[in-house]
Structures are given as C-alpha cells and as structure tokens.
Amino acid sequence: MSVKVRFAPSPTGLIHVGNVRIALMNWLFARREGGVFLLRVDDTDLERSTKAFEDQIVEDLHWLGLGFDERFNQSDRFDLYEAAREKLVATGFLYPCYETEDELDRKRKLQRAQGKPPVYDRAALNLTDADKAKFEAEGRKPHWRFKLSGGRIEWNDLVRGPSHIDTSSVSDPILIREDGSYLYTLPSVVDDLDAGITHVIRGEDHVTNSAAQIEIFEALGGKGSAPHMAHFPLLVGSDGEKLSKRIGGLSVKALREEEGMEAMAILSLLAKLGTSDPIEARADLASLASELDFSKVSRTPARFDFAEMERLNAKLLHEAAFDAVVARLRALGIKGDEAFWLAVRPNLSRLKDAADWWRLVEGPVAPVIEDADYAAKAAVLLPEGNLTRESWGAWTSAIKAETGRKGRDLFLPLRQALTGQNHGPEMDVLLPLIPRETVLARLAGKSI
Ligand code: GLU
C-alpha cells in the first residue's frame, strides 16, 4: 500500500507549535514510508479564511523544511461536496431538520433535567412531507444531519490503540447548516476519499469526529474505505495549562522572527514531546523520520516547555557548521569568517546574538577609558604576534604582575576600553577576533 497523508490547517490564523506537531508527524510518517504528503487548505469558512494566512502557512512549512508533494484548497471543491450531499440524501443518510437553536437548547435542557445524555432525539426523521412543506412555508430552512448507525464503531488507533465509540451516545452530526454552508466533517471525508488518504494523523480533539467520519466514509466509499487513524494527545503548557493562552507567542512566525528559534530546535522538540524517547537536538529531519515510532507516544497530554526548546536551539547552534549559517550571518550584516563563527558559536543561544559580537569586532566602538595611564601600560604589555585564545590570560597576568591590580580593577578597564561596555562577551574569545591595531587604538581611546 502506498502511503498518503495530509496536513489540513484552516487559514484562519497563524500556525503554532500544536499545528506544527501534527504537520511534522504527518510529514515524518510520509517520509519514513516513502509516501506522499498533501497540504489540504481547509478554507470552506469563506469569511474567516484569508489568502494571507494561507500564504503564511505555506511559508512557515517551507521554512520548517516540511515541504509538501501536493496541495489543494477545499474552497475549489464545492462541486464534490455537493455531489456527496446528493448521494447521502438519496441513500437516506442525510436528513433535513428544522429545529431552531432555541428549540434544540430546550430539548437538551429537558434531557439533562431527566438525567439523560443530551443526544439529538431524531424527531426530524418522523417529519412528513406536509410537515416539511409547512416549515418551508414559514420561511424555515433545514440544516442536515447524518444518520449514525447507532452501533459501535471500532478502530485500531495508531497512537491510542484499540478505540471505540458507541454512536448511540452521540448526536447525529450536522453536516450542512441552514445557510447551506458545510461544517468541516463532510468535506474532510470527501477529500480524504478523493485523494486516497491512507492515514489520518491529527489531534485528539477529533476523536469524536472519527466515529461519525468512519460511518460517512463507509456511506460514501463503501465498507473498509476509512483510512487508518492516529490521534495525538494535545499539547499543554509546562504548567499543565491549555496552550491556547499564549499561543500567539508560539506561532511559527513569532518563534522564527521574534524568538530567533532554529527550525530544527522546534522540530526536534515536537517530534519527541510526550514520547518515551529522550528529547535531543537533531540536525535534520531524516534522523527524526528514522526515529519515528507512534507506539512510543504517551496517552497523556504532552507538556510544551519553552526553556527546553531554547536549550535545543543553543545546542544546534553550538554544533552548526559555518557553511550552514554563513548566508544568515551575511543577512544579519555579519562579515565574520569561519574563525569568527567557531569562536562565538559556543556562546550563542540565538543566531542573531552573533551580531552583538560582530559589532564589537568590526566597530566602531567608543572606548571608555577612566585611567589613561593604566590603558597605556596595558597596551605595552599586549602579547606579541597573533592574538589567540590564550592571549587574554597571558596579557592580564602580565598586567597584574606589573600593576599589582586584581579582580574588577584589573579586568573592567580593559573590557571598557575594548568594548565600551561594562558587560558583554567573554574577553578571551573576543580579544583574538579584534585586529591587533584596533585593540591598541581602542586602548589609546580612539573610536574604531
Ligand atoms: N481543519 C481541521 C483542523 O485543523 C482538520 C482536521 C483533520 O485533520 O481532519 O482541525
């Protein structure tokens, strides 16, 4: 069987770590199985969906490295949904209902008061043609429900294991609203059937939809036409709270543009979060694909910890080769060479922080000199020849021996002269990156 999976975001907002986790699981699964990864844009809600969000989703997926093999928009496919609707009406699976929201609400309240579950009573199935004509004459428009079998739906969930839902315990789902618009349930099935989706990998919030959808699959495509299912437990914050509270800051766009996260830091975390595997930095998606194992996913919500992602980010930068980052360094205006990169990378938690180092190397720096005598003595004692990682230690030892200064009195004036600041990077790393003449000029108080 050739595998085909899909990621089906609604372009009504930015995609965030929760969506990315699902996209990633689909992508990795397709990659591991040599299958096809489809991007399905769920834009049937014409009011809330925008082209700008759709473009952003595509950009985010590409930035993450989660490219897709095929793509389509649900908004281009209303003909197919219409045909499915007709088929379901003709076969008696889809039936018109005329209750108003208020009437349904009253029914539910009554059921609850009687200690019954608030499941739709299917009153509309008993409507005669005359009843329907009367409602229509009153100006009522029907909404349409799918008639569930009332039986037990079973599937072997790739994440949750053997799963079942008694459809007698759920209301016949509304597939089409009064205004003729489709809820998500039917178009999703129509597209999964049409595209030949073999595995539906998505969030646990869709488990109850699955029962109805499996029956819709069979009503449209015949017995056994439902794909395999894998439902991932939702992500929660590190405090166990719903992630939605701070989801704005966890959009891919914000993580990239504001937080300076590397794509692989986000992906390394999301691939292993809530699994029995350790969370470790991986430099490429191929490693994550080879390690993918749905049986290791825990059934409890996965905790998303920002600090953990930052740790992975730093780790990836510390190991990143110059070639892999040079284009981005140049885009940040950093002209440093490989030696510069190798010197600063162990000190970075975000790539853009390299710019702080570069500013001190390239200058101009306005030196702060409180004691010109001391600076002049230090200049004389600067080790001869090329400055290296050892030069700072040798230099400050010599100054200490000569002046008797130690601690802050010894170090701070040198830092102030060379960087113009009281705080900043490790001086032993910085010193060899600055040309010797520049070091001497700064000690002499020149802005360079
Ligand atoms: N657009 C739906 C969502 O984002 C897709 C769900 C599915 O994968 O079936 O929740």
Kindly give the number of the ligand 1 atom that is closest to the alpha carbon of 200.
Answer: 8
pTM of the predicted protein model: 0.92
The last residue of a domain, from among 129, 146, 176 = 176
pLDDT in tens, 363-377: 999 999 999 999 999
pLDDT single digits (tens) 293-312? 999 999 999 999 999 999 99
The per-residue pLDDT of the chain, averaged, comes to 96
Q: Which residues line ligand 1 (CB under 6 A)?
A: 8-10, 42, 184, 188, 202, 206
pLDDT at 5 over 80: yes
Q: Which atom of ligand 1 is nearest to the CA of 188?
A: 9
Given 362, 382, 413, the domain boundary residue is 362
Residues 349 and 299 in one domain: no
Mean pLDDT of 223-233: 97
Say if residue 1's pLDDT is above 80.
Answer: no
**55 and 23 share a domain?**
yes
Per-residue 3-state assignment (H helix, E strand, C coil) for the chain: CCCEEEECCCCCCCCEHHHHHHHHHHHHHHHHHCCEEEEEECCCCCCCCCHHHHHHHHHHHHHHCCCCCEEEEHHHCHHHHHHHHHHHHHCCCEEEECCCHHHHHHHHHHHHHCCCCCCCCCHHHHCCHHHHHHHHHCCCCCEEEECCCCCEEEEEECCCEEEEEEHHHCCCCEEECCCCCECCHHHHHHHHHHHCCCEEEEEHHHHHHHHHHHHHHHHHHCCCCCCEEEEECCEEECCCCEHHHHHHHHEHHHHHHCCCCCHHHHHHHHHHCCECCCCCCCCCHHHHHHHCCHHHECCCCEEECHHHHHHHHHHHHHHCCHHHHHHHHHHCCCCCCHHHHHHHHHHCCCHHHHHHHHHHHHCCCCCCCCCHHHHHHHHHHCCCCCCCCCHHHHHHHHHHHHHCCCHHHHHHHHHHHHHCCCCCCCHHHHHHHCCHHHHHHHHCCCCC
* Domain shared by 284 and 326, yes or no: no
The total number of structural domains in the chain stands at 4
Same domain, 8 and 43: yes
Residues 116 and 159 in one domain: yes
Instruction: Please check whether residues 289 and 355 belong to one and the same domain.
Output: no
The whole-number pLDDT of residue 171 equals 97
Domain residue limits at 400: 372-443
Q: What is the pLDDT of residues 391-409, one digit of tens each?
A: 999 999 999 999 999 999 9
Rounded mean pLDDT, 195-201? 98
Q: How far does the centroid of ligand 1 lie from the alpha carbon of residue 40, in Å?
A: 9
Probe ligand 1: pick from 188, 201, 207, 210, max atoms within 8 Å of CB? 188
24 belongs to a structural domain: yes
Structural domain contains residue 214? no
Nearest CA to ligand 1 atom 6: 8
Distance 94 CA to ligand 1 centre (A): 22
Residue 100: per-residue pLDDT = 95
Instruction: Check pLDDT > 80 for residue 29.
Output: yes
> In which band, very low, low, confident or very high, does the pLDDT at 245 lie, cut at 50, 70 and 90?
low
54 & 89 share domain: no
* 420 in a structural domain: yes
pLDDT at 242: 80
Please indicate, yes or no, if residue 411 is contained in any of the structural domains. yes
Q: Which of 95-99, 144-148, 208-212 is predicted least confidently?
A: 208-212
In a domain, 382, yes or no: yes
Q: What is the pLDDT of residue 240?
A: 81
Q: Is the same domain home to 84 and 170? A: yes
- Tens digit of pLDDT for each residue in 60-75? 999 999 999 999 999 9
Whether residue 84 is found in the same domain as residue 160 = yes
d(CA 232, ligand 1 centre) in Å: 12
Q: How far is the CA of 56 from the centre of ligand 1 (A)?
A: 17
